[in-house]
A and B are shown apart, each in its own frame.
Chain A
């Protein structure tokens, strides 16, 4: 504990951490937290010395310069071993390893996990892209070939040194393999048998092999050809992956219509890609496109599939297969899409003109407790983490007090502020399931303002408005807010516009309305709307209307009030739109004096 910490701090922190959420479950219904992973090396487990000896050798197989944390026990999620590529933490299930008599295979098992970190897939971003490619060809809910592919690539690299150990891992689970539930896994084992010159059934199990051969005549020839061709394919890992999936997919569906049940005892997973990883994977990169072309030319995938994997709707298709798109967790897809818009906005960033505002000249002084109700932006996270650490800091943050250098002395503050009105009515595409250029436009403006040291806030409207009323400095926070979709009628909130103008008085922000020609109807519905609009245009340093399918007559009317109107013709041609917006904001001066 640091010396300047209040005496009751620890007690208060513990109280805060113990506080229950708004809905307190009865104690017996509260789910038990998963057991904490236990460090192995230096611990008391009987296999700890074996792991300690094997770990450096396993890393050295790939490189002498790896910086991985030592393995832990009890977090391998039902597999012999696992690596979480998010944290780069290797986990072992020592109980299972001991029960299966695999203690002398630990170096191979650990080297395999390190292989996921070093080569296949290497990062969760690559992992996410593989999953996206796979979903195009194999539209199954849970089942995946991604892990089998990466395991095969790693194991083949490990083969010269660890062939016997790796085979023993698979052999130790032979009795559990149910080829009827997961035929692709048995085919996968046949690839090893053929490529490594092992007897048929030596990994699959003799009985399973016999039955499998009857059910899938010729499978061994396919396994041998796959094993021969896979490792030499270029130009990149996606090519190899597409080839692997195209062949193995023929064995995925069990007889009958049900989804296969994965039988792989080595399903080490690699962890779940982050929202940013998924967002990045929503658009195929050049390497994927190259691989798709080759897969099409070689006949591994049909032309129709190849087109679907690379046409102008590919992002929408990928969005539809995101994890969470068809399950109960409604937060996952919007989170990914928010990250997607943030990434896309980077390409079109513009710097809004800073506005001259005056404010008191302040200087940061002492730290004090942040209390609920204080502005979030007052928290000094650096000081909090330095003084209180992650645990206490999260519960009891500190804020930095600022005092006036000289009472009443105001200095100029160049700070852009943008207020956005975004139409999310039924005539607009849902930004959570497709790329909505208007949401992207809003994201570009928000990001631009915040990156320039400014603030932003937004109002989404359809038949009713939803506001983010606080001035916000967080791109992430606002990008998540922009994922809201109403999808009903279009009623521009003129009342809110009037209130905003009144509230901001002598400190007006740039205002941007992003909508379509439905705005024209809203404008003329009530006689007072035109005057609210005109007043807002006069008061705002910039008032920009981005109108899709704009009516020329109304456009002239809006321009007559002094508003800048950008007519958006082609939504997918966003760079042009961004450039137009940029011109609208910057055309007359670099700095906009208030």
Chain B
């Protein structure tokens, strides 16, 4: 069970469209520059005010973000940018009825940014699927379900997209190919041996 599920349990019932969230995230990836925590904190505070929520204290935010490396800070900035979407802000505001804002931030924003270390900016820029994975993880973190999908569908899709699982499986496939790789190596050796003597020079 993920940290989000442990903290928040199942979905609140808020349903969101995946496409605009994914598109927003993709645009943010393309626009991403050097991480600037102060700017991210200020933007988050603005979004909280727009959602009629009390922003986090500076120290609270800094404490939550202190665990992030440079790439994590970039990811946090991406996730905060999703609050520019009205529907996302509404979902967060709804969640805030039952959970304090600092807990939402530390799990759905800083926590998620920390948990998804494989989804570096470079990887996100290379693959729509990785962007989709991060978008789905974010929606799950704010306990929103996805329009047009059952909870089971979303879970399956997220599992299929799970980059960590994918890399582990690819590694397993590579290990399983050891015998085939050995056959290739032998062919290479045979090719090398076929190059006979080329004269006394």
CB distance from B30 to the nearest CB of A (A): 13
* Measured CA separation A434–B183 after assembly (Å): 27
Within 8 A of B (CB), among A234-259: 249-253, 257
| 19 contacts across the A-B interface (CB closer than 8 A) | A216-B176, A218-B169, A220-B169, A221-B167, A221-B172, A222-B170, A225-B167, A228-B126, A228-B130, A229-B126, A232-B125, A250-B174, A250-B177, A253-B184, A308-B188, A316-B198, A429-B201, A430-B199, A433-B195
B121-150 toward A: CB 8 Å interface, digit per residue (1/0)? 011011111100000000000000000000
Contact pattern, B 163-179, Cβ under 8 Å of A = 1, otherwise 0 = 00111111011101100
Q: Is A363 an interface residue (CB 8 A)?
A: no
Q: How far is the CB of B119 from chain A (nearest CB, A)?
A: 12
Contact A219 B191 (CB under 8 A): no
- The distance from the CB of B122 to the nearest CB of chain A, in whole angstroms, is 8
Q: Give the docked Cα–Cα distance between A461 and B89 (Å).
A: 88
Given A320-B194, A427-B199, A428-B201, A222–B126 Cβ distance below 8 Å?
no
Query: Is A13 positioned at the interface, with any CB of B under 8 Å from its CB?
Result: no
Q: Give complex CA distance A52, B130 in Å.
A: 41
Report, nearest first, the 5 A-B pairs whose CB atoms are least far apart.
A218-B173, A221-B169, A429-B199, A250-B177, A139-B191
Q: Cα distance A167–B46 when bound, in Å?
A: 47
Q: Quick check: B166 and A221 within 8 Å, CB to CB? A: yes
Does A158 sit within 8 A of B, measured CB to CB?
A: no
A576 at the interface (CB under 8 A from B): no
Quick check: is B192 within 8 A (CB to CB) of the other chain?
Answer: yes
Cβ B180 vs Cβ A250 within 8 A:
yes
Q: Is A392 interfacial (CB-CB < 8 Å)?
A: no
A250 and B172: CB pair below 8 A?
no
Query: Contacts A139-B187, A433-B198; is A308 near B192 (CB within 8 Å)?
Result: yes
- The answer to whether residues A571 and B201 also contact, given A250-B181, A253-B183, A316-B195 and a CB cut-off of 8 A, is yes
Q: Is the C-beta of A426 less than 8 angstroms from some C-beta in chain B? A: yes
With A and B bound together, what is the CA distance between A235 and B127 in angstroms?
Answer: 19
Contacts of A219 in B (CB 8 A): 173
Contact with A along B36-66 (1 / 0, CB 8 A): 0000000000000000000000000000000
**CB-nearest residue of chain B to A224:** B166
Confirm or deny: A168 has a beta carbon within 8 angstroms of a beta carbon on chain B: no
Report if A231-B172 is in contact (Cβ < 8 Å); known contacts: A140-B187, A427-B200: no
B177 closest partner in A (C-beta): A250
Write out the residue numbers on chain A whose beta carbons fall within 8 Å of the beta carbon of B170.
Answer: 218, 221-222, 224-225
Q: Tell me the smallest distance from the CB of A6 to a CB of chain B, in Å.
A: 54
Most buried by A among B125, B174, B199: B199
> Which chain A residues lie closer than 8 Å to B201 at the CB level?
427-429, 548, 571
The number of chain B residues with a CB under 8 A from chain A is 34
Do B173 and A232 touch across chains, with their CB atoms under 8 A apart?
no
Q: Is the CB of B126 within 8 A of A430?
A: no
Q: A228-B129, A250-B181 are in contact. Are A222 and B174 (CB under 8 A)?
A: yes
Say yes or no: is B190 at the interface (Cβ < 8 Å to chain A): yes
Chain A interface (Cβ < 8 Å from any Cβ of B) = 135-140, 197, 216-222, 224-225, 228-229, 231-232, 249-253, 257, 305, 308, 316-317, 320-321, 426-430, 433-434, 487, 548, 571
Give the residues in chain A near B190, CB-CB below 8 Å: 139
Closest CB of chain A to B159's CB: distance in Å? 12
CB distance A430 to B198 under 8 Å? Answer: yes
Distance of A137 Cα from B125 Cα, bound (Å): 30
CB <8 Å contact, A138 and B184 = yes
Whether B180 lies near A231 (C-beta < 8 A) is no
Contact partners of B187 in chain A: CB under 8 A: 139-140
- How many pairs, one residue from A and one from B, have CB atoms within 8 Å of each other in the complex? 96
Could you tell me the distance in whole angstroms from the C-beta of A268 to the nearest C-beta in chain B? Answer: 26
A428 / chain B contacts, CB cutoff of 8 Å: 199, 201
In the complex, how many angstroms separate the beta carbon of B123 from the nearest chain A beta carbon?
Answer: 8
Across the interface, name the chain A residue whose C-beta is closest to B123.
A228
Q: B125, B127, B173, B191 — which one has the most chain A CB atoms within 10 A of its CB?
A: B173
Closest to B161 in A: A224
Least CB distance from B98 to A in Å reads 35
Alpha-carbon distance between A216 and B170 when the two chains are bound, in angstroms: 11
Chain B residues within 8 Å of A136, by CB: 188
Known: A139-B188, A232-B126. A217 touches B176 (CB 8 A): yes
* Nearest residue, chain B, Cβ from A426: B199
Query: Closest CB of chain B to A212's CB: distance in Å?
Result: 12
A232-B122, A251-B177, A305-B188 are known; give 13 further A-B pairs, CB within 8 A. A136-B188, A139-B191, A216-B176, A217-B173, A218-B170, A218-B172, A219-B173, A221-B170, A228-B126, A250-B177, A250-B181, A316-B198, A321-B191
Q: Which of B122, B191, B198 contacts A434 (CB 8 A)?
A: B198
What chain B residues lie within 8 Å of A224 (beta carbons)?
129, 166, 170
Within 8 A of A (CB), among B87-137: 122-123, 125-130
Which residues on A sit within 8 Å (CB–CB) of B198? 316, 429-430, 433-434
Decide: A320 and B195 in contact? CB cutoff 8 A.
yes
Q: Are A217 and B172 in contact (CB under 8 A)?
A: yes
Find the B residue at minimum CB distance from A429: B199
- Considering only CB atoms, which chain B residue lies closest to A233 in the complex? B126
* Contact partners of B166 in chain A: CB under 8 A: 221, 224-225
Give chain B residues whose Cβ lies under 8 Å from the Cβ of A320.
191, 194-195
Q: How far apart are B180's CB and chain A's nearest CB, in angstroms?
A: 5
Report how far A220 CA is from B165 CA in the complex, Å. 12
Greatest chain A CB density within 10 A among B125, B126, B201 is at B201
Q: Which residues of B contact A257 (CB under 8 A)?
A: 183
Assembled-state Cα–Cα distance A251/B167 (Å): 18
Across the interface, name the chain B residue whose C-beta is closest to A229: B126
List chain B residues, Cβ under 8 A from A430: 198-199
- Provide the bound-state CA to CA distance between A295 and B128, in Å: 25
Other-chain contact of A249, B125, B176, B184, B195 (Cβ < 8 Å): B184
* A514 and B78 alpha carbons, distance in the complex (Å): 71
Chain A contacts for B172, CB-based, 8 A? 217-218, 221
- A405 to B188 Cα, complex, angstroms: 67
A251 / chain B contacts, CB cutoff of 8 Å: 177, 180
Contacts of B194 in A (CB 8 A): 320
From the candidates A222, A253, A317, A433, name the one contacting B180 in the complex (CB within 8 A).
A253
